[in-house]
Structure 1
């Protein structure tokens, strides 16, 4: 092995294996290939040390450095590269062991402090790399021998504490907060960047606590506010609106929330801003009720860890909203709104209605702010299908001329509503085509009611009215919806027709036969009456189902039909089909009971259990489709139900004023 290693160093171009070994060494030490004999000797001298580092042979490294003290500070051939000591540190930071820490301590004691502060080709010191990897033990050793390392910036003007925060190393970050001296890390862009890095790493609780302890962090200049708000505006998952928990009905009284006093001065005693609980609601009847709630909630979190995770995530959502609220307070909006505009419109585009709402509450002229395309936040919300952001319109003033502004392309807000929804909005769902098209038609009609009637027929720069834009943009989706509707109706019609055939024939071949006058012999039996009634209901309901599906097949399939007409027919058809299947199974069970009850009185029990299987299966398979259809047709509107007269009236007052 030793001979092969030697060949690798001294004859770098002889064999492919030699070249591979040479490139590995270059990747660690930053050395370059050269035919110069002096460089080959340099490689040969430190090649064994490289192998020891690569194999984590720290005892061998210590012996090598003891015999050759100059190895630690040896410079590589490539200018600006690290020393061998930095290469050792890079490997040691990934080894969280006592022996590795002791070795690093011994090696660092043999290196001059200026050498510890040397940067690699990327502009990082050894301590900066330790901060990024969260190696607290190695970081403490380096700070011990050179405390000034915490203030050395990278080429991106970042401090080690920023790197620790960005990578989510909470313990390392807390330690760097204590030992960083000589730089005011709580003010200016450094403070804002630190807060932003914590938010990027989803350490919302740490960011919020930092904001409580240092009220001016992220708020001492408009640039600092911009940095924090820009970060939050790009993180929809940090808010309830962008989380999967948004649809989970969690009782607020079980969720710790952030509350502030109405008369609180944020720049003053921020310690008064505390994390409290809404469990002290007015619905509570006393201390016993409060205590029982707490006991139940704590027991639930202990027994079900997922419940605790939901609780923590909901709390994090509230903390991010509170951070936005604090950052937005006491801004001189008339002077600095331009620098915060990007964050506002980004949040509106991503659907973070909590973020936009805090802007509206802090600045009552938010609604009339325009982006570079000449659009306000509600235009952006309609364009990107952010209904919850658009529904904030009832919280703003100055709504009289809100929709009179046309963008650079001449499109008013109704043109924007008529555009095709992004593919991400229609992905998934059982009634993707028809349900999505129904929502689009519903959205367009809702926006049409909010604008002045004079704008309904306006043309854009392409000489198209909103109706023409809608027809052109959705023609492919209409075809897909028509195809889906016809296929669904055809398949269900076949099933309904089979049921009609079976139950119609059963009506003339009654169980037990008939006498010469055609009267059933078992006419007075209860089971026979159940058979007759259920068979009749199955026939009538299946015929109704076929007629509904036939109406779908013969529809004209206009855009408006997808809003009410087609979904209503499909709902009635599916319900009637389900009812006919259930009635047919009841008729079958009654027939079996008539035939076998004289031998086994309990025959009805297994028949009923088995008969429930196909009925239940049909219900489970078709219920999601039925529910989607019902919600898209008769559910609550996705956009507020209002009119342009209400928006133009003086009764609407911003909630925050």
Structure 2
């Protein structure tokens, strides 16, 4: 048996279903004709599935936000109903204006505000205002307009203020958030932990603090400056109490993600930042070491550094050197050997800063920091050894082939020799170029083989990865590159001697083709050489203040 209420509801939907389809298709003339013939459609509570009014449906279906026909129709229809009709909620507890704010349809929103200004203060079921929805969805112009027309509610204080800032940051509208903070420096400050919530939002956006590259550099740099300024203003206004969970959460999140600008603002605003500990009894510098955040760790120069700063031990009895001894997976360096080198650099850098008495300290597992380092990195040492040997073996084969070629070329003089064994073209510039480049290729390739042989026969102790092995690989790659280049110069000189008197036009194409092997080697091996050199001789972990 069919329930009479269900039957009535079905008839109700069937009555207004054609109107709903017209709105979906943006058939605004058809909508106007339908409403003219059936005025009850303007006040129907469930004219479409989901308890929507006609105003909800129109706002939801607007595809072209600048549609003059849709905006004019909305204006006509809104003028025919009372304010209570415009203020009706859908099944989600939203007014049509709230939906409009989320879509960023400023023209339609202005129409609704014109006929019921109080719509801006009607909250959703989640206690959100339309201005919050515009901020969350990232509609800058709509948000600014709603700021101007929202009256009777103090949206700059309490949870409302905190939400506005949080949603603007969620939407990456840093310029709007900064302008708002400058106009209202105390926004959201009286809400419990509200500023901490905002700081947490920023701390979870490391890309907002990233140093911009050449691409879109202006916009990225501007966003970078705006986010730093937002943090600075908030830190000045916030009430600094160490036990504030949200503030600590933001601080340690920033330290973990390596946002040094963020941490720096904390340090400048609160000079005891270095003494703040998280739930694991670790300071920001402990966290920086644990996650290998070099720039955050270098802020240590701003906190009147003494060795006493590192006396704190975590819940496992690990001091900061134990943390430096732990293996941290990294995507910043390529190859196991380079990662092992970086791990050693961190360990040595922290080792220089701590008090000598701490070197022998044991953790709760009765292990010193060095013992932890050895245990944590034993697999990485094996992988680094394998990587080094494979690289050295491959390169040494190439170097050995070059030795064979250039050694034989030294006894096969182009142009022939006289009866005394003196080259016939001894005084030709091309011959001198051939002779010099051939000798350079021979000596450099022999040097390269010796370096790679030194790598293959190394004992592969942990500390060898710090300087000894990388230095040998750098020298080996440089001399190998030089030997290839010299060999190709010798080849070019030989071609010139053989063909210059007959085939002048052929020499240039042959010389260009001869550059291909050198170019290929540079493209394949130069990035590795550059990474190795930068890691070995580049900037140290700790930068002197």
Asked if 1:587 is matched to 2:490, the reply is: yes
Distance (Å, rounded) in 2 between the aligned partners of 1:580 and 1:193: 65
Superposed CA deviations along residues 97-127 of structure 1, whole A, max 9, x for unmatched, are 0110111122222333222222222222111
Question: What is residue 454 of structure 2 aligned with on the other side?
Answer: 551
Question: What is residue 73 of structure 1 aligned with on the other side?
Answer: 43
8 Å contact 2:42–2:54 — kept in the other structure?
Answer: yes
1:71-470 correspondence runs (5 A): 71-76=41-46, 81-92=51-62, 95-219=65-189, 223-239=193-209, 242-245=210-213, 309-329=216-236, 331-334=238-241, 337-397=244-304, 399-422=306-329, 425-426=330-331, 431-470=334-373
Distance (Å, rounded) in 2 between the aligned partners of 1:335 and 1:610: 68
Question: What is residue 7 of structure 2 aligned with on the other side?
Answer: 37
Once structures 1 and 2 are overlaid, which stretch shifts more, 60-69 or 605-614? 605-614
8 Å contact 1:364–1:397 — kept in the other structure?
Answer: no
Superposed CA deviations along residues 184-239 of structure 1, whole A, max 9, x for unmatched, are 12223322322222222222222222222223324456634223322222221221
Distance (Å, rounded) in 2 between the aligned partners of 1:393 and 1:312: 30
Superposed CA deviations along residues 306-337 of structure 1, whole A, max 9, x for unmatched, are 6xx42232122122212211221154424775
User: Which of 341, 366, 391 does residue 488 from structure 1 map onto?
Assistant: 391
Superposed CA deviations along residues 60-92 of structure 1, whole A, max 9, x for unmatched, are 222222222222332339998333442333213
Aligned in 2, Cα 1:167/1:485: closer, same or farther, shift over 3 Å? same
8 Å contact 2:20–2:57 — kept in the other structure?
Answer: no
Distance (Å, rounded) in 1 between the aligned partners of 2:360 and 2:366: 11
Aligned in 2, Cα 1:145/1:540: closer, same or farther, shift over 3 Å? same
Aligned in 2, Cα 1:527/1:79: closer, same or farther, shift over 3 Å? closer
TM-score (norm: length of structure 2)? 0.93
Asked if 1:626 is matched to 2:533, the reply is: no
Superposed CA deviations along residues 375-404 of structure 1, whole A, max 9, x for unmatched, are 110011111111100100010036342111
- Secondary structure, counterpart of 1:394 in structure 2: helix
Aligned in 2, Cα 1:397/1:331: closer, same or farther, shift over 3 Å? farther
> Any stretches of 5+ residues in structure 2 without a counterpart?
none
- Secondary structure, counterpart of 1:123 in structure 2: coil
Distance (Å, rounded) in 2 between the aligned partners of 1:190 and 1:433: 50
Asked if 1:538 is matched to 2:410, the reply is: no
User: Which of 597, 617, 632 does residue 500 from structure 2 map onto?
Assistant: 597
Superposed CA deviations along residues 563-597 of structure 1, whole A, max 9, x for unmatched, are 11111111111111111111111211222222223
Distance (Å, rounded) in 2 between the aligned partners of 1:454 and 1:581: 52
Asked if 1:568 is matched to 2:475, the reply is: no
Aligned in 2, Cα 1:80/1:503: closer, same or farther, shift over 3 Å? closer
- Secondary structure, counterpart of 2:310 in structure 1: coil
Superposed CA deviations along residues 15-45 of structure 1, whole A, max 9, x for unmatched, are xxxxxxxxxxxxxxxxxx9994333323322
Distance (Å, rounded) in 2 between the aligned partners of 1:78 and 1:521: 101
Distance (Å, rounded) in 1 between the aligned partners of 2:251 and 2:327: 24
1:131 deviation in Å?
0.5
> Any stretches of 5+ residues in structure 1 without a counterpart?
1-10, 12-32, 249-305, 643-657
Aligned in 2, Cα 1:170/1:336: closer, same or farther, shift over 3 Å? same
- Secondary structure, counterpart of 1:409 in structure 2: coil
Question: What is residue 50 of structure 1 aligned with on the other side?
Answer: 20
- Secondary structure, counterpart of 2:304 in structure 1: coil
1:606 deviation in Å?
4.7
Aligned-residue RMSD, C-alpha: 2.6
Asked if 1:638 is matched to 2:535, the reply is: no
How many residues end up aligned between the 2 structures? 544
- Secondary structure, counterpart of 1:401 in structure 2: helix
Distance (Å, rounded) in 1 between the aligned partners of 2:464 and 2:254: 34
1:607 deviation in Å?
4.8
Distance (Å, rounded) in 1 between the aligned partners of 2:195 and 2:14: 55
Distance (Å, rounded) in 2 between the aligned partners of 1:93 and 1:513: 84
Question: What is residue 257 of structure 1 aligned with on the other side?
Answer: none
Question: What is residue 650 of structure 1 aligned with on the other side?
Answer: none
Distance (Å, rounded) in 2 between the aligned partners of 1:187 and 1:138: 28
8 Å contact 2:138–2:173 — kept in the other structure?
Answer: yes
8 Å contact 2:290–2:324 — kept in the other structure?
Answer: yes
1:368 deviation in Å?
0.4
8 Å contact 2:185–2:233 — kept in the other structure?
Answer: no
TM-score (norm: length of structure 1)? 0.77
1:514 deviation in Å?
2.9
Question: What is residue 517 of structure 2 aligned with on the other side?
Answer: 614
